[in-house]
Amino acid sequence: GAGVSQTPSNKVTEKGKYVELRCDPISGHTALYWYRQSLGQGPEFLIYFQGTGAADDSGLPNDRFFAVRPEGSVSTLKIQRTERGDSAVYLCASSWTGTTGELFFGEGSRLTVL
C-alpha cells in the first residue's frame, strides 16, 4: 500500500525491557512525526523530523525515549527501560513538508508493558 506503515502493530513487553517501534512513511514525504495516544485521550506529540534531523523533540517525556531517522525515510522510536506508564498506542505520521499540508497517519503500534 501507499500509506504510512507501522510495525509491529502490537507489542507486549515486560517492565524494564527495551523496545523499538518502526515507521515507514509515504515515499517522498520529508516530514515525519511521532505521537502517542493513551486510552480516551487525544494524540500527544513526541517528536518531529524534517529530513534526517529532529526539528522538534520537545514532546519526548524523558531520556528513555529516543528516535532516529538516519536516511530521511524510515524512522525508529526507541524506548529504554520500559515502564507500565509507557503503555499506549504510538502513532506515526508523515507529510510532504513540515510546515503546511496534511499529515497522513499510520494505524499505530500498540505497546503494552506488563
Contact 89, 35 (CB under 8 A): no
80 versus 103: smaller Cβ distance to another protein? 103
Radius of gyration of the chain (CA): 13
Q: Is 65 in the site for another protein (CB under 8 A)?
A: no
82 versus 95: smaller Cβ distance to another protein? 95
Q: Is 25 in the site for another protein (CB under 8 A)?
A: no
Q: How far is the CB of 11 from another protein (least distance, A)?
A: 16
| Helix %, strand %, coil % of the chain (to 5) | 5, 50, 50
